[in-house]
Amino acid sequence: MTPALLVLAAYLIGAIPASYIAGRLAKGIDLREHGSGNLGATNAFRVLGAKVAAPVVVFDILKGTLPVVAFSQWDGSADWRWELAYGAAAIVGHVFPVYMRFRGGKGVATSAGVFLALAPEAVGLGLLTWLIVLKLTRMVSAGSIAAGVVVGVLLGLNVPAERLEVRILGGLIVAFIIFAHRANVGRIVRGEEHRFGMKKEPQATVAAAAVTADAKGAE
């Protein structure tokens, strides 16, 4: 197959909406109508829970890894930069999936999959960072942002100069991840971000509690 067709195939693979499918199969819901409405890992964990979301994350990672690894063996090209094209196409597919009217996730897991093939050491440390930040804050979004920054820095420091394109792609993806999580950053600053393992009280319950407290105060 020609590299151009493989780029298209990488996009179509990246566009497979694993979190949407999992939401339908596990809970019979459209994930776009719950939580933040995003089809990424953070919202999957928030709405579907870890048992459903964890396999979704693994699938999203593989969407990035497999095109880079497999397609580079099939394209008949000696130019390694096609690997970047396959990875970038998979990420774009995840963020802007044609199957879901171009409304997808934020690209963290699929980006990790791409760089797992291109720079596995950086991804390993990024994953460790994600786990530590998640443990400390219980916020998936905070872990994703921190992991993205760590991977970006490591790519800049450790990737050989002759592979400058990897550094550039890494920098662009990190910038996009932070931009895509801007709403999460705002909620973190305001203390409103959802914490993994904690359920929000229904608004009706909160309102009822407030009315009860006011009534007691008036007695």
Amino acid at site 58: V
pLDDT at 177: 84
pLDDT at 116: 92
Would you state the structure tokens that stand for residue 29, as one six-digit string?
């819901």
pLDDT at 217: 46
Would you state the structure tokens that stand for residue 127, as one six-digit string?
């994953």
Instruction: Say how far apart CA 123 and CA 175 lie, in whole Å.
Output: 16
Closest CA to 7 of 91, 90, 105, 119: 90
pTM over 0.75: yes
Spell out the alpha helix ranges (H) of 67-197: 72-74, 81-95, 108-118, 120-137, 140-158, 164-180, 182-190
pLDDT at 70: 95
Positions in the chain short of pLDDT 50: 200-219
